[in-house]
């Protein structure tokens, strides 16, 4: 099976060119095309035809096919459904903020974490993505919109730290000035709380934003929502977060989806504030997304605002996430779930 061209970085291209007995500078030329998001080998006009034919024999650029695109009528949000070469389906989202264009990408086709509130849970797990498939999502969206992507969040389908090596490799490549040239501070990685991998990630020394899906003020509620909490208790998770802030100097973002009557009461806000007191962090409150078959309901707006007020009065920095693309199911997992259901005989 041919390799996906985006899966090779500059060192890989140097080895490839050396194996073919070609001048070393050819590796840099090919890598530069890949870094710019080339869509066709025919675009590589500074390469001789013979080399392009050789590349066509050894590699493919068909590793990511646009299956569907939905554009919001409410804002500039667009949702992309991509089909991988093996038929697996993933989702990516383009969002427009005052600071520029941001893309949320998937790191896996499906997810193994089994969170009870997540649309990805019911759609099954395909496989982890390569770093090239993650890069290809960014390039495809930038090319489609004729835009420059300045921020990338790995918060789509999948648990990024369950695909550790490929995610770290993606981050380094996305930061490369010869490629996407995105500042590490404009790259974000989300995790549901794989504590050993969080510690390993901190030790990589990458000054990216770490977002932790918390969603509860204590172990009892968190275990109800997230099976991973049975393996890694609340205290060990917060200890890993404190270690990250101490070693990197970067604050941790806690994602907290609010579910009606489950984790959105005043006592929950007060308990959360007490647990986070003194930590370098920010709480991102999320009015939970509802989807067909889901067992939780979105918190009422007054309850969301009350929760926010109690956190801020306790000295915890918090905001309510602006809802984007509500009319196109922009929350990751919903469209993949629908498509996988349609494929099931």
Residue 136 backbone phi and psi in degrees, to 5: -60, -35
Q: Which member of 104, 115, 241, 332 is catalytic?
A: 332
CA 307 – CA 303 distance, rounded (Å): 6
91 is catalytic: yes
**Considering only CA atoms, which of 338, 330, 212, 318 is closest in space to residue 269?**
318
Q: Which member of 91, 159, 255, 340 is catalytic?
A: 91
**Considering only CA atoms, which of 157, 162, 138, 166 is closest in space to residue 9?**
166
CA 297 – CA 50 distance, rounded (Å): 59
246 is catalytic: no
Report H helices in the chain.
Answer: 10-19, 25-35, 49-58, 131-145, 164-175, 195-203, 219-225, 228-231, 234-248, 266-276, 301-313, 334-343
CA 172 to chain centre: 15
Tokens matching residue 263:
């984790």
| C-alpha dist (Å) from residue 337 to 20, 47, 77, 103, 249 | 44, 42, 20, 20, 38
CA 230 – CA 222 distance, rounded (Å): 9
Helix-helix angle 10-19:25-35, to 10 degrees: 140
| CA R_g for the chain | 21
**Considering only CA atoms, which of 99, 190, 186, 204 is closest in space to residue 138?**
186
**Would you please indicate which residues are annotated as catalytic (active-site) residues?**
91, 332
């Amino acid at each position: 099976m041919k390799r996906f061209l985006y899966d090779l970085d500059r060192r890989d291209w140097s080895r490839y060119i050396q194996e073919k007995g070609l001048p070393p500078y050819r590796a840099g030329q090919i890598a530069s095309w890949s870094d710019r998001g080339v869509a066709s080998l025919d675009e590589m006009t500074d390469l001789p035809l013979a080399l392009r034919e050789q590349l066509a024999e050894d590699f493919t650029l068909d590793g990511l096919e646009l299956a569907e695109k939905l554009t919001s009528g409410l804002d500039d949000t667009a949702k992309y459904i991509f089909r991988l070469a093996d038929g697996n389906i993933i989702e990516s989202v383009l969002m427009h903020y005052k600071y520029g264009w941001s893309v949320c990408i998937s790191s896996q086709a499906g997810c193994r974490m089994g969170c009870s509130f997540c649309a990805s849970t019911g759609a099954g797990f395909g496989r982890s993505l390569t770093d090239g498939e993650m890069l290809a999502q960014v390039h495809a969206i930038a090319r489609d919109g004729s835009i420059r992507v300045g921020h990338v969040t790995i918060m789509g389908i999948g648990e990024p730290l369950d695909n550790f090596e490929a995610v770290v490799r993606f981050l380094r490549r996305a930061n490369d000035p010869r490629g996407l040239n995105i500042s590490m501070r404009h790259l974000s990685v989300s995790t549901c709380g794989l504590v050993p991998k969080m510690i390993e990630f901190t030790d990589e020394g990458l000054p990216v934003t770490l977002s932790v899906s918390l969603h509860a003020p204590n172990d009892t509620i968190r275990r109800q929502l997230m099976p991973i909490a049975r393996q890694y208790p609340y205290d060990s998770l917060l200890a890993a977060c404190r270690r990250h802030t101490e070693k990197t100097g970067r604050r941790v973002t806690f994602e907290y989806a609010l579910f009606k009557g489950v984790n959105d009461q005043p006592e929950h806000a007060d308990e959360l504030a007490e647990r986070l007191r003194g930590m370098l962090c920010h709480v991102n409150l999320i009015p939970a997304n509802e989807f067909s078959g889901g067992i939780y309901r979105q918190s009422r707006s007054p309850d969301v605002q009350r929760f926010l007020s109690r956190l801020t009065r306790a000295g915890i920095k918090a905001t309510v996430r602006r809802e984007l693309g509500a009319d196109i199911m922009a929350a990751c997992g919903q469209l993949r779930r629908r498509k996988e259901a349609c494929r099931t005989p």
